[in-house]
A and B are shown apart, each in its own frame.
Chain A
Amino acid sequence: MRLVDLLVLYAVIGAAAAAAIYVRAAPRDGRAVASAVLAVPLWPLWAPVALTARGASPHLARTRIPHQIEGALAEALVAVEGTPLSNLLSPAAVTGILSEVARVVNRSAELDALLRRPDLDPVAAERHVATLEAQGAPPRVLASARLHRENIQRLERLRDRDRRALAELTDLAGALRTQMVLARYAGSSAEGASGIVSELWARVEGLGAAIELSEIGDPNGVEAYPGR
């Protein structure tokens, strides 16, 4: 194979990688184009990062969800500007909501990162417990392994809870936007919009609430140690 052949092959793979990166990008904006273009000459280095970041990396959630919520709330703010509805949704209120959302998104991203560590892998922890049980390990060793597994499961539940809450909040912000736009142009009453704003606030406050022990289990895991 000549050098030219090798370069052509490299460019073809680069083009394929660029296409894959662009197709999988969300949203397909200027950044997606730049990311795809970067993959043509540097696909061996850039493609693994750009492609596998989707859905697996915490920064996706960190950027995507707030962008959707932020966009919806900004449009809602514009829609109510100069109308009696502006009392329902002020810029300060939107800033407060976004600040709380960002905090939860970051927490979710940190939990994601933690749960991808090999020592916090739920499958490995489950397998370890099964191995110890099969080997007839002493009760205290088995209890430690079970506690480790259960703590990982609690972390998973925390992360999933945050994700669900953020997804619901995204939908709610979208509904608020359309409601405000509708109220502005159709001249409908503030009643419907008021209900959604109240619901939004309730969800945001729910995001900040402490996790109930019953929801994630006992963090001390005292009962897991029979001899304690």
Chain B
Amino acid sequence: MLLAVINDLLRSPSGVAARCREDADLRPLVLGSLAAIAAGGALFGAVLGIPRGALQATYAGAKLPFAMLAALVVSAPAFHVLNAAIGRPQPFRSTVALTLAATGRAALVLLACAPGLWLAMDTVLEYHPAVLVASTCYLLAGVAALGVILRGLMPGPRGLFTAVAFTSVLLPVGGQTAWMLRPFLGRPAHDEVPFLRARESSFADAVHQSAWSAMGHYREDARFWDAELARDRLGDTDPGEYGRAPR
């Protein structure tokens, strides 16, 4: 059953979406998708943490599937409401099945990316390039998931608008969830391997900060992040003048 669902997720996104739309035989689909999320997320997370050792790999492997599912727990009801308001009302279980199937497909894409990422991190990639490559893997997985979502919604502009609205909910929720569960890679400058990093700022703050910094505008509290980056590059573990989080 599990292999059949995984086969469908990979090879027949249209069939999976139709199954969700028609509310047919959802239970095995949902269970198979959950298994795909658990396996794909855990292995990709473990690969992210491998350069920092077995403990970080274990932590990241446990946290990544949790982050994916936690984001869905928060976002799925919003998706259901958006779909009912903009597109076509469906039973809640169909919406849940569609989001889980899409995430399951994304997790399988992450699983496919994992060996390449592992090899690259083991040979040429340092911390920041590794973050960028991992982000590209997430982007690929997101595109694969969006394909299932779009096929499961009403065809035409209404379905597209619903997908855009859902994405606008899922991205910040998923981003904040992952932000709260950092570190996944683990900064090279840190000696210890914490399960969770101390709470600092938020995902939105970090995006805002990075955007301003990228444009050459530095705020006083931005110097903390710059100090962090500099320490990562130098491998320095001294917190220094700006070593404490601004908030």
Known: A42-B34, A44-B73, A45-B69. A113 touches B23 (CB 8 A): yes
Within 8 A of B (CB), among A100-136: 109, 113, 116-118
Q: Is A53 an interface residue (CB 8 A)?
A: yes
Known: A48-B93, A48-B96, A49-B30. A116 touches B69 (CB 8 A): no
Q: In the bound complex, what is the Cα–Cα distance between A156 and B231 (angstroms)?
A: 70
Distance in Å: Cβ of B34 to nearest Cβ of chain A: 7
Q: Is B25 an interface residue (CB 8 A)?
A: yes
Contact (Cβ within 8 A) B28 A48: no
Q: In the bound complex, what is the Cα–Cα distance between A217 and B34 (angstroms)?
A: 44
Residues of B within 8 A of A50 (CB): 27
Contact (Cβ within 8 A) A117 B97: no
Q: Is A99 an interface residue (CB 8 A)?
A: no
Residues of A within 8 A of B28 (CB): 59
Distance in Å: Cβ of A32 to nearest Cβ of chain B: 13
Known: A44-B76, A45-B76, A46-B30. A57 touches B23 (CB 8 A): yes
Within 8 A of B (CB), among A50-93: 50, 52-53, 57-59, 62
Residues of A within 8 A of B92 (CB): 48, 52
Residues of B within 8 A of A42 (CB): 34, 69, 73
Contact (Cβ within 8 A) B22 A57: no
Residues of A within 8 A of B77 (CB): 44
Q: Which of these, B69, B72, B76, B91, contacts A52 with CB under 8 Å?
A: B91
Contact (Cβ within 8 A) B72 A45: yes
Residues of A within 8 A of B24 (CB): 57-58, 109, 113
Residues of A within 8 A of B97 (CB): 49
Q: Which of these, B27, B34, B72, B76, contacts A57 with CB under 8 Å?
A: B27
DSSP class of A's interface residues: helix, strand, loop or mixed? Answer: helix
Query: Which single residue of chain B is at the shortest CB-CB distance from A118?
Result: B88
Q: In the bound complex, what is the Cα–Cα distance between A57 and B92 (angstroms)?
A: 13
Residues of A within 8 A of B96 (CB): 44-45, 48-49
Distance in Å: Cβ of A152 to nearest Cβ of chain B: 15
Residues of B within 8 A of A57 (CB): 23-27
Contact (Cβ within 8 A) B23 A45: no
Distance in Å: Cβ of B19 to nearest Cβ of chain A: 9
Q: In the bound complex, what is the Cα–Cα distance between A59 and B22 (angstroms)?
A: 13
Binary B-proximity of A187-212 (CB < 8 A = 1, otherwise 0): 00000000000000000000000000
Distance in Å: Cβ of B62 to nearest Cβ of chain A: 13
Residues of B within 8 A of A113 (CB): 22-25
Distance in Å: Cβ of B178 to nearest Cβ of chain A: 17
Residues of A within 8 A of B100 (CB): 45
Contact (Cβ within 8 A) A53 B27: yes
Q: In the bound complex, what is the Cα–Cα distance between A126 and B89 (angstroms)?
A: 20
Distance in Å: Cβ of B119 to nearest Cβ of chain A: 33
Residues of A within 8 A of B93 (CB): 48-49, 52-53
Q: In the bound complex, what is the Cα–Cα distance between A186 and B77 (angstroms)?
A: 60
Query: Which single residue of chain B is at the shortest CB-CB distance from A60?
Result: B27
Known: A45-B96, A48-B93, A52-B91. A58 touches B72 (CB 8 A): no
Known: A48-B92, A52-B91. A117 touches B22 (CB 8 A): yes
Distance in Å: Cβ of B41 to nearest Cβ of chain A: 14
Residues of B within 8 A of A44 (CB): 73, 76-77, 96
Distance in Å: Cβ of B173 to nearest Cβ of chain A: 13
Q: In the bound complex, what is the Cα–Cα distance between A44 and B25 (angstroms)?
A: 19
Distance in Å: Cβ of A42 to nearest Cβ of chain B: 7
Q: In the bound complex, what is the Cα–Cα distance between A113 and B73 (angstroms)?
A: 26
Q: In the bound complex, what is the Cα–Cα distance between A175 and B203 (angstroms)?
A: 65
Binary B-proximity of A21-63 (CB < 8 A = 1, otherwise 0): 0000000000000000010001011101110110001110010
Q: In the bound complex, what is the Cα–Cα distance between A49 and B93 (angstroms)?
A: 5
Question: With A50-B27, A52-B91, A58-B24 given, can you name 6 additional A-B contacts, CB distance below 8 Å?
Answer: A45-B69, A45-B73, A45-B100, A48-B91, A52-B93, A57-B24
15 residue pairs bridging A and B, Cβ less than 8 Å apart:
A38-B34, A45-B96, A48-B96, A49-B27, A52-B93, A53-B27, A57-B24, A57-B27, A58-B25, A59-B25, A59-B27, A109-B24, A113-B23, A113-B25, A118-B89
